[in-house]
Chains A and B, each alone.
Chain A
Amino acid sequence: MSRFWNTAKQLAHYPSAVVGLLIILGLVVLALYCLFTIPYSEAIRLWRGGEDIWGDYPKNAMPAWVNIFPGVDVPVTIKVDSAETPETKDVGEFQDGMRVTTIDLAFDYRHGDFPAEVSIFFTSTFESSRPFISAVWLTPDGREIRIADEAIGRTHSMRLSGNRTLQRRLGNQPAEVGFFLDPNSGDQQTALKGRYILRISAITFEESSAVDAKLVVYGKAHGLAGTDDRRRDLMVALLWGAPIALAFGFLAAVGTTVTTMLIAAVGVWFGGWVDFVIQRLTEINLVLPLLPILIMVGTFYSRSIWIMLGCVIVFGIFSSGIKTYRSMFLQVKESPYIEAARAYGASNFRIIFVYMIPRIIPVLVPQFVTLIPSYVFLEATLSVLGLGDPVLPTWGKVLSAANSQGALYKGYYYWVLEPSVLLMLTGLGFAMLGFALDRVFNPRLRGQ
C-alpha cells in the first residue's frame, strides 16, 4: 500500500499525469453516471426507438450551445400540448348532438431564423363518430392562415412541412417559412417575432368524445449534443459510449497483458519444449492479420461486442508482447535472488508468481495503461467499418452513422466532432498517464 502512495506522490510531480488522471477520472465518472441514470435496457430501447420515442425531436439539429456564440441565433424546439396545459382548452356545452372545443396553442417566437419543421399531433377519444377539426394559424401581425378542415382518427399527425396544398396556399413556401415570414422583410426573408397562436376548433359528436392537440415547432438546435437523421438525441450514444469504450479497452488490455505475461513467464522458466511451442505459436500468430479476421468474424458469425472482445483477446495473447516479456524474464531468471529462492526450496510456480512477475510489473503498468486506448480505437474502427455491435450505442457507431449520412458534406460537423473529441480525449488521457507512469517506474527515462 505504501508503494501505491509513493507512486501516486511521484506522479503528482508530472503535470501530464495529473491532467491524464483528471481526464480518465472524468470519463469514469461520466460512465458511472450514465450507467446509473440510463440503464442498459433503457439505452438500447432509446437507441433503437423510432418516431414513438423521438417524434418530438428535431432532425439533424445542432447542439443548443451554439447559441452562446454572439450573432448565432438558432431556434430551439417549441412544444405546446393541450393535454399538459388544460387552460388552453375551452370545452363547450353538448348541444344538438355535438360539442365545440376550442384549443388555442400560443407561444412566443423570438428568433430571426425559421424553424425546421412544424407538426400538429392530435389525439381523440370517441366510439364511432370521428371528430372534425379545423385549424387556423394566427400571426403576431393579425393575419389568419387556414391550415386544414378534416376529420381525425384516434391519433392523427399533421406534418405541415410536407403538405403540398398548404405550400401552394402559402405562395409556394413550406409551412415553417410561410407561417413565420415577416411580410415586410423583402428578399432577405426573416421571421416575424412575437406571439403566434394555433387555433383549433374541434367538433365532437359524442357525449364522451374529447380532442387534444400538440403543436411542435421543431428547432434547428437541440440539447447538448444535437440529434441525428433519425431524430435521436446524440447524447444517449455519447454517454453510453463512455462505459462501453472503457470496458472494452480495459477488459481487452487486461485480458491480453495478463495472459501474455503469464505465458511468457512460464515459457522462460520451464524452457525446453514449452518455450519452443510458445515461441512458434507466437510467430505464427504474429503474421495473422487481426483486423481482417475480425471483419470475417463480424461478417459471418456475430457482430456482438462481446464476441469481438473475445476475438481480440484470443488473438492478442500470443502477440509481440510475448517476445518483449520473454526478453525481460530471461534476464530476471538469471538473477541471483532466483537462485537463492531455489536454494531455500521455492516451487516453480512460486518462483514464477512471487519472484519473476513482480519484477517486471513496473514495466507492465505503463504499457498496460497506454494499451487501453488502442483497444478503444480498435472498437471504433470496427464500428466505422460497419462491424459495430448491432444494438449498443457506441462512439464508433455514431461516427459510422455520420459517415453513411454524409454528415460532413451536409455541414453536420458536430455529428463527427463529438464522438471524435471523446475518442481523442480518451486516448490523450491514458497516453499522458502512461508516459508519466513510465517515467516513475523506469527512472532511467527521467530527465530526457
Chain B
Amino acid sequence: MLLSVKDLRTWFELRRYGFVRVGHVRALDGVSFDLKPGEAVAVVGESGCGKSTLAKTILGLEPPTAGEVRFDGRNLGKPTRELLRWYRARVGYVQQDPYGALPPFMSVKRILEEPLIINGVKDRHERQRRIYEALTQLKLTPVEDFLNKYPHMLSGGQQQRVVIARAKILEPKLIVADEPVSMLDASVRVEILQLLRELQREYELAVIYITHDLSTVRYFSERIFVMYGGKIIEQAQMEDLLADPKHPYTEALLRAIPDPHPKNAETMREVPPGEPPSLLNPPLGCRFHPRCSKMIEGLCDQTEPPEVDLGDQHIVGCWLYTDQQS
C-alpha cells in the first residue's frame, strides 16, 4: 500500500476560554481507506463534508486529532523534521484557486525552482532541466515564453498547469488535487484533467482527486469515495458505483447530475430535503438519516451503521445492506 489511512479524525477547536472548551467542529470523523501505488481515486461530496480537510490532513498541513496516516509503510503520526521532509518531497498538492496558489511576485521559473531549492537540488543545470521537462509535459511551450512570466500574465488554465507542474516537479508518488478544475472555465477543465490523467499513467502516480462535480469523475478515476458529514459512506469501483449506487445519498447525488436533454427542461429533479448535517453536533446514528427517504425508525437514528463490504471493493455504510455482506 502506498497510503493507508485508518480512522482519521480532524477536529477543529471552536474557541477556548482559558481551560473551558466550547466545542469542536468534526470536519473529519473516522475516515479509513487504502491507496495502491499508481491508483487514481475520486473523493466526492457536497460542500462542507470534509473533503478539503481530508486533503490537508493527508498532506500534513492540519494535524489529525486521532487516527493514523501511513505512507510507504511509515507512520506520519508525530513526524520528525526529517520524516516530514521526506514525506513532503513525495507528495504533491494541487489547489483549487490557481491564481491564489501561485505567489504573485515570483516568475514561473522561480515558482518551479522553489520546491527544488527547498528539497536540496543544488545543481543549477539540474534544476533548469527539470523545470524545462515539467513545463514541456504540461504543454506550456515554448518554455522560454513562460519562464519569465508572472502568474497574473497567464490564463486560468495556464496558471493551473503551472500549479500542477510545481506539484509534479519533485517527482512525487502521490498527488492530492483539491478541486483542481472547479475554478476554471468549462472549456479547459477536460484538458487539465486529461493532462493530470496522462501524468498519472506515465509516472505511476497515485492521485486523490477531490471534487463536488460527479460529471468530471468519469474522466479520471478508478475508484470513488463518497463523503458525507466527515465520513466516507460509500466506496466502490467507478463503473460499479455509477451503475449501481447503494447508499441513498449516493443515489441522490447521481440523480442530481444535470443531463442536458430537452426533455429534462420541464422536470424538477428530486433532491434530498433538508440541510447538510451540522459538524458541531452531528446527528445520532447515521448522519444522513434526517434526510433519508429509506430511514428505518429506531435503527438509523440510534446506531451508527456498520461498514458493509459488498465485495469487489464496494463498501457502503448503510443499515439497508447488512444482510448482503459478502
Contacts and interface: CB of A to CB of B under 8 A. Distances in A.
Contact of B166 (A340, A359, A361): A340
A341 interface: yes
A359 B115 contact: no
Contact of A336 (B59, B95, B105, B166): B95
A348 to B, nearest CB: 11
A358 B111 CA distance: 14
Contact of A344 (B56, B102, B170): B170
Given A344-B114, A345-B84, A350-B118, A336 B101 contact: yes
B88 interface: yes
Interface in B42-92: 56, 59-61, 84-85, 88-89, 91-92
A72 interface: no
Nearest to A358: B105
Nearest to B101: A336
Interface string A1-21: 010000000000000000000
B100 interface: yes
Contacts of B225: none
A344 B101 contact: no
A355 B89 CA distance: 19
A354 B111 CA distance: 11
A343 interface: yes
Contacts of A355: 103
Nearest to A347: B118
A344 B170 CA distance: 9
A342 interface: yes
B61 A342 contact: yes
B91 A343 contact: yes
Contacts of B148: 2
Contacts of B228: none
Contacts of B240: none
Contact of A340 (B85, B93, B104, B170): B93
Contacts of A347: 118
B61 A345 contact: no
A344 B103 contact: no
A337 B151 CA distance: 12
Given A339-B95, A340-B93, A340-B166, A346 B114 contact: yes
B97 A344 contact: no
A335 interface: yes
B61 A344 contact: no
A416 B107 CA distance: 52
A354 B85 CA distance: 18
B93 A344 contact: yes
Interface in B199-224: none
Contacts of A359: 103-105
Given A336-B95, A339-B61, A339-B95, A346 B118 contact: yes
Contact of B118 (A335, A345, A358, A361): A345
A341 B88 CA distance: 10
B97 A336 contact: yes
Given A337-B103, A344-B166, A358-B105, 19 more contacts: A336-B101, A337-B100, A337-B101, A339-B56, A339-B61, A339-B93, A340-B95, A343-B59, A343-B60, A343-B88, A344-B88, A344-B115, A344-B118, A345-B118, A345-B119, A346-B114, A355-B103, A358-B103, A359-B105
- In the A-B complex, list the 9 residue pairs whose CB atoms are closest, starting with the nearest: A343-B93, A345-B88, A344-B115, A336-B100, A336-B101, A337-B103, A358-B105, A336-B95, A345-B118
11 contacts: A337-B101, A337-B102, A340-B93, A340-B166, A342-B61, A343-B93, A344-B119, A344-B170, A345-B115, A350-B118, A358-B105
